[in-house]
């Protein structure tokens, strides 16, 4: 059996009214149910953010490893712009 711990939270009047309104509308059985769902969503969001950060750090490390191994090219903005323009023209020609 899950044990529950009682805590007190403070909400703005607008947030409190939102919670009360959802309970009164029958969307939730209680304000506690709303807070539990909000916390589950918050934990899920934090887990996604942590994974995104881990992915970003891995990509940075991969880039640093490439630099150290000599797998680099000079940055050429003009070449990138030309390639982008060529792709746009190719797409435009293909959609006619």
Indicate whether 8 belongs to any domain: no
Indicate whether 43 belongs to any domain: yes
Indicate whether 71 belongs to any domain: yes
Q: Return the pLDDT at 73.
A: 87
CB-based contact 11:21 (threshold 8 Å): no
Query: In whole angstroms, what separates CA 67 from the centre of its chain?
Result: 29
Predicted confidence (pLDDT) per residue in 43-85, tens digit: 999 999 999 999 999 999 999 999 999 999 888 999 999 999 9
Q: pTM of the full predicted structure?
A: 0.67
Q: Is pLDDT of 96 > 70? A: no
Q: How far apart are CA 31 and CA 19, in angstroms?
A: 6
Which of 14, 45, 39 minimizes the C-alpha distance to 22? 14
- Return the SS3 of 84: helix
Indicate whether 82 belongs to any domain: yes
Indicate whether 7 belongs to any domain: no
């Amino acid at each position: 059996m899950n044990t529950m711990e009682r805590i007190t939270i403070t909400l703005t009047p607008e947030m409190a009214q939102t919670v009360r309104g959802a309970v009164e509308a029958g969307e939730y059985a209680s304000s506690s149910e709303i807070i539990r769902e909000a916390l589950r969503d918050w934990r899920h969001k934090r887990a996604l953010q942590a994974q995104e950060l881990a992915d970003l750090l891995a990509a940075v490390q991969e880039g640093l490893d490439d630099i150290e191994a000599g797998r680099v090219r000079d940055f050429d903005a003009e070449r990138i712009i030309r390639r982008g323009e060529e792709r746009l023209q190719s797409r435009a020609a293909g959609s006619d």
